[in-house]
Chain A
């Protein structure tokens, strides 16, 4: 019972700060793109960011109880579109 309450509290805290956490990861990725000049490395950074973006979406909307198929498709297509555009220019 106590463990369950603690678990819920942690999840609530993560949920409350998840947007800030994602923005911090995004800022780190932008910093990485500025620091590393290699296009291959920049592409890898953006690919990791895309995976983080999708994982974040899954976690955030699950905790928010707003996870629907349509919402998830939007995230997947946005990530896919960006990766295709970057693949055409970076690699």
Chain B
């Protein structure tokens, strides 16, 4: 097969270029399935090889959080070493038990870590983030989510604790950010309350009076992991966007050449393909990595 037929419609039969024919599309689909499967296999066999490299600084997150509060005329929250310890214990536990949630599979709750560190709160809250590139991305994502924003701009909070911890989660190098808020004022005036993802939980008295958890007393943060070799998010985004753009370009070329030749070919609709591929490419471009909880 001539090289030109991969990119241009056939001179004699006017068939579509191979790269936009159904055979070409099938090859792309199989290649992307293979790519996703390879990522899963690498995560399983060589944990830490894949992952996102972040430049998140916990001081910057405190600063950005206070900027958001000041915009609304609220008092800034003050960094609290006990809450920092609780946040670090939570992050270490997430890596140890390999989960991405507010509640651990073993049953540990966010307030277990806060109370376990010795912080006796009246009001508390927790925000989580993983795999963002920068501190700005983390705070922006939280501010765009009403339930997380509720914690950031809650006037009841006085203290903040942050942990930025790197480690392997589900086999992938991950940067976890745990943000904990708290307030001890009005101590025991009413039942202590925790805000997690917009859900307010009243802490039962027996849980509130529990002793320090051993996990909080002597938790171990994972040792520094080497820089991951491949960022699976970026790889999928770059390759995916390139394939979409290649398809759009070849469809335009196909349309122009057939017009010039004055040939009619029974074919799928160009405009529908352009519309659908453009919407998908825009979505792909707009996305940044990372998720919040």
| Contacts from A to B (Cβ < 8 Å) | 19, 22-23, 26, 29-30, 33-34, 37-39, 42, 45-46, 49-50, 53, 56-57, 60-61, 66, 68, 70-71, 73-75, 77-82, 84-90
A54 nearest CB across to chain B (Å) = 10
CB atoms of A34 and B286 under 8 A apart: yes
Does B272 lie at the interface of the complex (its beta carbon under 8 Å from any beta carbon of A)?
yes
Interface size class, chain B:
35 or more
Known: A22-B275, A84-B33. 10 other contacts (CB 8 A): A29-B279, A46-B283, A49-B279, A61-B268, A66-B266, A78-B276, A81-B32, A81-B243, A84-B36, A85-B236
CB atoms of A39 and B287 under 8 A apart: yes
Instruction: Write out the residue numbers on chain B whose beta carbons fall within 8 Å of the beta carbon of A39.
Output: 287, 291
Quick one: closest A residue to B273, CB to CB? A78
Knowing A33-B283, A75-B268, the reply to whether A82 touches B244 (Cβ < 8 A) is yes
Query: Top 10 A-B pairs ranked by shortest CB distance?
Result: A85-B240, A77-B25, A88-B236, A26-B275, A37-B144, A82-B280, A73-B22, A84-B32, A53-B276, A74-B268
CB atoms of A57 and B271 under 8 A apart: no
CB pairs A–B below 8 angstroms (19 shown): A19-B272, A30-B282, A37-B145, A39-B287, A53-B276, A57-B269, A60-B269, A71-B267, A71-B268, A73-B22, A78-B273, A78-B277, A81-B29, A82-B280, A84-B36, A85-B240, A86-B284, A88-B232, A90-B287
| C-alpha spacing A68/B250, complex, angstroms | 22
Selected from A30, A71, A77, the residue in CB contact (under 8 A) with B279 is: A30
A17 nearest CB across to chain B (Å) = 13
